[in-house]
Amino acid sequence: MAAHIGLDPVNDINWITSQSPTPAELFADGKIDACLGLPPVPQELRARNIGHVVVNSAMDRPWSEYFCCMLAGNREFVRKYPIASKRVVRAVLKGVDFCAGDPVSAARRLVDGGFTPRYDYALQTLRDVPYDKWREYDPEDTLRFYALRLHDLGFVKSVPQKILAEGTDWRFFNELKRELKGSTGVFEGLDLSAIQASVSSHFGRQHARGRRLRGQD
């Protein structure tokens, strides 16, 4: 991102990594000039009237026009267990639709599940993140965009075309895009723990089956 606006990320920026105190704490104490924060860090700093947002990748172009996150899987596992792999992708996308369609319930479940203590921060994050855009964004364009940036900086040696050809497989995503078409909205009674248990159970059965096939059981 720094290189995109003409900065040299190696020579123009002094990067600080710290687990204790955290970058947010260092920033609040005036010991560093800026920090990279994921929720709930920005909400906490805003509540304390500390600093201001320089760039928000969920809202500012070009970053907001591409996926921020992607699923990656072990190539051999995906090849051996395509049903389990697709089921994981389906569960994630259903969860995304749930967050988009009913952020109030999703935020409550995050708090009830112990993932975060602050309901208000969770709800704000769910409303700020464009979860409903996953059907519109193109994952191949996203990977090409970031691969080109990283290649230009020398962070990766492979050109985007090679990375796309050898390291991507959009079959599950494209199939689920069609299967889940029109499923956005409020998911009444959606049990996220049941989805997780179902996926875990399926992975367990696939793994046990693989062990039997290899004669380990």
114 and 209, same domain (yes or no): yes
DSSP SS3 for 57: coil
pLDDT value at residue 130: 85
Does a structural domain hold residue 51?
Answer: yes
Q: Determine phi and psi for 113, rounding to 5 degrees.
A: -80, -5
Residue type, 151: H
Does a structural domain hold residue 62?
Answer: no
Does a structural domain hold residue 64?
Answer: no
| Tally of domains in the chain | 2
123 and 175, same domain (yes or no): yes
137 and 30, same domain (yes or no): no
111 and 192, same domain (yes or no): yes
22 and 79, same domain (yes or no): no
43 and 81, same domain (yes or no): no
Does a structural domain hold residue 66?
Answer: no
Does a structural domain hold residue 68?
Answer: no
93 and 190, same domain (yes or no): yes
CA gyration radius, the chain: 20
pLDDT digits (tens, 9 = 90+) for 8-64: 888 899 998 888 899 999 999 999 999 988 888 888 888 899 988 888 888 888 888
Q: Which two tokens stand for residue 21?
A: 């105190």
Does a structural domain hold residue 97?
Answer: yes
Contact between 44 and 125 under an 8 Å Cβ cutoff? The reply is no
50 and 128, same domain (yes or no): no
Local confidence band at 215 (pLDDT 50, 70, 90 cut-offs): very low
Residue with tokens 């201001």: 52
Looking from the CA of 28 toward its CB, the CA atoms found within 13 Å total 14
Q: Alpha carbon of 95 to those of 69, 163, 202, 216: distances in Å?
A: 14, 28, 18, 35
Mean pLDDT of the chain: 82
pLDDT digits (tens, 9 = 90+) for 177-213: 888 876 554 444 445 554 444 444 444 444 444 444 4
Does a structural domain hold residue 70?
Answer: no
Q: Residue 37: which domain range?
A: 1-55
